[in-house]
A and B are shown apart, each in its own frame.
Chain A
Amino acid sequence: MIKNKYVLFAFRLIIGGLFIYAGVIKIADPLGFARDIQNYRILPPQACLFIALALPWFEALSGAFLVAGIFKQTSAWLLSFLLAGFIVLVIITMARGLDVDCGCFGKLSRKADWRLILEDALMLFMVLEVALSSPGRRISGSLGR
């Protein structure tokens, strides 16, 4: 586990910044994001719209809190769960043989493929390091308290 505070701070900036960017770009185009979600063909239209309206704010706020150091551990865990969920979603999508845009960064999105899984896994590693960094506020402490 990484303990260097500068490295952990860099991880927070990178992951937080990416999620702020991903959130803001989707807040600006909720219908485009709703289309991206619908392309996965998992959820009904009502759920697609609800997620398209709320998830970008969830990403942007969690990212902002992570960068700012407010609710740092909680934000890190939330983004970890989100990234783990994205990885599972991409694997399921590939297994179903669907050829879709990931919808990660609005119009700058690209295919949901193995490269995307690796990138998400790298981000998951970084944000988990942040989540696990403070003694006593790990998931056993934060969640188990």
Chain B
Amino acid sequence: MKRFFSEAGFIAGLSVVLGLALHVPIIRQFLAGDFAHGFTARGRGPGIILITLAEAEDLFTGGQGFFVDARSRRDYSAGHIPAAKNLPFEEAKGGGLKEFTDGIPPGKTLVIYCSGEDCPAGLTLAVLLKNQGLEGVRVFMGGWEEWMAAGLPAERGNDQE
């Protein structure tokens, strides 16, 4: 038992030391609060604008927003912001973004949302879409949970057309 724990302790200890020592800048960024909205590298997200519920609601009621739901198809089907398109983050990672971005009406403001603050998929999807050349991408960090809690309009189903 002593042998096992000493060897295991050596491997675990070495892993922690190497992991922490080689990523000091990331730890500093974390302590500075850079990852408060998810673990997205600084520099990968410039140009992405985080918006509040009020701003998301304004874009919705004014008709200028083009909402994209980054959650799974099942979550989307259970309820989503009216007229929002579903682009599950896991599927978006696999490609096919060009086809999706081509379908975005010109002049609309792209607003991406996920389930809530603890779901980083919205922000990460925004980075993917921005890398496709889209500008002014907004992320509504409060997401579906905040939208529902505010009693705002919602619809169900998979019909995105």
Chain A residues at the B interface, C-beta cutoff of 8 Å: 27, 30-32, 34-35, 38-39, 41, 45-46, 48-49, 52-58, 61-62, 65, 71, 73-75, 77-78, 97, 99-101, 107, 111, 142-145
CB within 8 Å for A49 and B30 given contacts A74-B4, A142-B3, A145-B2:
yes
Shortest beta-carbon distance from A107 to chain B in Å: 7
21 pairs from A and B in contact (CB 8 Å cutoff)? A31-B35, A31-B40, A34-B39, A35-B124, A38-B38, A41-B118, A45-B39, A48-B39, A49-B26, A57-B16, A58-B11, A74-B3, A77-B8, A78-B8, A100-B90, A101-B93, A142-B1, A142-B4, A145-B1, A145-B3, A145-B4
How many contacts A-B (CB < 8 Å)? 95
Chain B residues at the A interface, C-beta cutoff of 8 Å: 1-4, 7-8, 10-12, 14-16, 18-20, 22-23, 26-27, 30, 35, 38-41, 72, 74-75, 88, 90, 93, 118-121, 124
Q: A35-B38, A145-B1 are in contact. List 16 more A-B contacts (CB 8 A).
A: A30-B26, A35-B124, A38-B38, A45-B30, A45-B39, A46-B30, A48-B39, A49-B30, A52-B39, A53-B19, A58-B12, A71-B11, A75-B11, A99-B75, A99-B88, A142-B1
Chain B residues, CB < 8 A from A48: 39
B19 with A54: CB separation less than 8 A: yes
